[in-house]
Amino acid sequence: MTLRQWSDNGWLRPHTTTPEEIENLFQIVDRDLKDARSGISADWRFGIAYNATLKLCAILLYAEGYKAERNLQHYRTIQALPKILGSEKNDDSDYLDTCRAKRNTAEYDSVGVATDRDSDELIEFADSFRDEVMAYLRKNHPELLDIR
């Protein structure tokens, strides 16, 4: 299915983004990655790093003119990744969906769900993914990076 078909199904809605909105989201990503490196519990570090990756997926979706509906919002934002960057990103989408489930458990059900290794791995992924999202925007949507 395409993003357009997802929109027709009511899973996404049209969204017009601005360079300012994209800049604000990148600022959230940068703040979260900095905070995820601080001396807090692995569960919180993991949750904060997850939030950074979710924002990066949202940036891609916004750039393509869509926003996920509230029902299954995180899931659909993550699942849109290979639809935007290509099927070679299916494994990354699967990884982030696993992180989504782990973050939910750590947030709502249990303590000690994420390890320091889990958190470090997700932070490293987010750092690399941030560069990839920026490169995608430079190539496909440079107008969204035109902050004055």
- Domain borders along the chain are 3-145
What fold, for 3-145? Four Helix Bundle (Hemerythrin (Met), subunit A) (1.20.120)
For residue 82, what pLDDT is reported? 98
- For 40-89, the pLDDT digits (tens) are 999 999 999 999 999 999 999 999 999 999 999 999 999 999 999 999 99
Q: Does residue 7 carry a pLDDT above 80?
A: yes
Q: Which residues pair with 48 in a beta bridge?
A: none
Provide the CB-side half-sphere exposure for 139 (13 A, CA).
8
Nearest-angstrom CA–CA distance, 63 and 70: 18
Residues of the chain above pLDDT 70, percent = 99
Strand ranges inside the chain, DSSP E: 12-14, 66-68
Quick one: CA torsion of 58, 62, 64, 67, rounded to 10 degrees? 80
